[in-house]
Every structure is written in C-alpha cells, then in structure tokens.
Amino acid sequence: MGKAVDSQAVRLGGTTLLDNAMQLRLHLGYRFPHRGASRDPLAAVRGSTGKQTRIERALRRARRRRNVMTTYRGNAIAVGVLFILCSAASILSIVPLGAAVGAPVDFATLAANDNRVVLTALIEFIWAATGMGIAIALYPVLRKFNPALALGSVAGRVVENVLILVGTLSLLVLLTVSQRAAGSAVPSSFQAIGDALVAVRDWVHGFVAMIPFGIGVFMYYVVLYRSRLVPRWLSGWGLVAAVLSTVGVVYAGFTQDFGFTTMTIVLSIPIAFQEMALAVWLIAKGFSRTALASVASACGAGGSS
C-alpha cells in the first residue's frame, strides 16, 4: 500500500507545491476512508520518505506568514492607543498644579494642595507606563527587521520613563517637606531642600529624561523607515521630528530654561503632531502587510535552507 501511495503522489500534477498538497490530501481522503487510515498527506509522505518534504516546508511557511500578519494587528492598535494616552498624560500632568511648583518654593501653597500633588503623581505614572509600553509593544514587530535597534529603542524609552518617575518621586518628597515647613516656626530652614527638589524635577523632566527619549524614538523610526512597516513619509517625518526634539532639549539644557519657551515649543511641535498621526494610522490601518509578508518569507526561506 505504501508503494501505491508513492506512485499516486508522483502522478499528481499542479502548478504549485500547495496545489500538489491539496490534491494529495483529497486523494488520500477518498483512497483510505476506512477507520485508522491516515488522512494527512504530509504524514503519509513522511512515512514513505522518512524526511521532511518540500510540500510540508511550503505549508509551514504559509502558516507562519498567516500567523505573523494576524498577530501584529493587535500590536498596532495597542501602540496607537498608547501613543494617545502617553501624549494626553504628559500634557495633563501640568494641569493640577500649574505654576505652583517652582523655585523659590511656596511651602504653604503646596502643602494646602496635597491632593493635587498626588493627582499629578498619578498622571505622571500613567505617562511613564504608557511611554514604556509604546516601545515594548513595538518590539515584537521591529525585532523581525532589526533586533539591535528594536532592543535599543526599548532600552531608551525605559530609561526615559524611569527618570520621569524619579522626577515624580522628587515632587512627592517636596510635598512632605512643604508640610513639615508649613508647620515649622522657621519655614525658611527648609528652603534649600525644597529648591533642590524642584531643581531635580526640572532637570530630570526637562533634560535628562528627554535625551534617552530622543535616542529611543530615533531608533524605532529608523526601523520603521527601513522596513516600510508604515509609509515612509510618516516614519521620515518621525526621524526629522526626533532630531528637532533632541535639539530643543539640548538648547534647554544650555539655557537652563525648562519652561515653555518659544524655541522649545517650535522644536517640539513636529514630534507631537507626528505621534498623533502615527497613532491614527496604526489604529486605522496597522502595519504594512507587504512588509510583514516579506520578512516572513525571508524567515521561511532561511529556515528551509
């Protein structure tokens, strides 16, 4: 019976390996309808040859391509939503306290607004968590094209947002110092500590954390540009915007002005609008199916060679 299967498999014709597999599956299904007979053509051929066939490798590559393209749609939506949440949180973090945090510290005002301080800390925690989540959600896709840059982008954004939380911690410590100063007979004795905590927060949020942000963002836009996972006008815009944002951060460091100056606003606007455009694109259209199929084909060819 094994010889009959082999001879019949040889006689099957088709334009592609997948056609041959389908014809062989149909033939075996009708040829061996009795109980206990194998209806899997791949198993039958393996039993006769003892080796993996070209048909089996082609089917496995096709299944792998389908799995990749369906899995990363969820990643695209997640990244788009995280972009929107991160941008919203970074803007809303200045709303509860406004200009109440600055040197010299007004301890009485800050101590009286303790709920607003805690609310600001919670918003900044969301800001940090979503910022890290963007790179983490992108990583499974980007590593297929460039593992080194994909990992570097995750490292950059994780460092950035850990530093953001350092600034958040300084705000919470400042609240405790303000409460102590407000109940002290000599509140001026706490002034140096309070001003130092404000300086830590300003330097971290306005300079130190933004350097790894620029590096991490630049890395994943390089991969997006080279891979064509999104249109090149969109990823190219991201590359230029990341450079401009970093220039604005360096400028703020040298001038030691971390507020909303004209220069920093102008240099930060491109990355803000680009991230929103990318978020809408990923939610609406996802990653390029052509780019994902090409890398899946390359992986399949590499696995079969």
- 236 vs 14 pLDDT, higher one: 236
Give the residue from 123, 201, 131 showing the smallest Cα distance to 159: 131
Q: Is residue 259's pLDDT more than 70?
A: yes
Q: Is residue 9's pLDDT more than 80?
A: no
Q: How far is Cα 287 from Cα 278, in angstroms, rounded to an integer?
A: 11
Provide mean pLDDT across the span 247-257.
Answer: 91
Say if CB 259 and CB 299 are below 8 A apart. Answer: no
Q: Which two tokens stand for residue 70?
A: 């369906």
Q: In this predicted structure, what is the pLDDT of residue 63?
A: 64
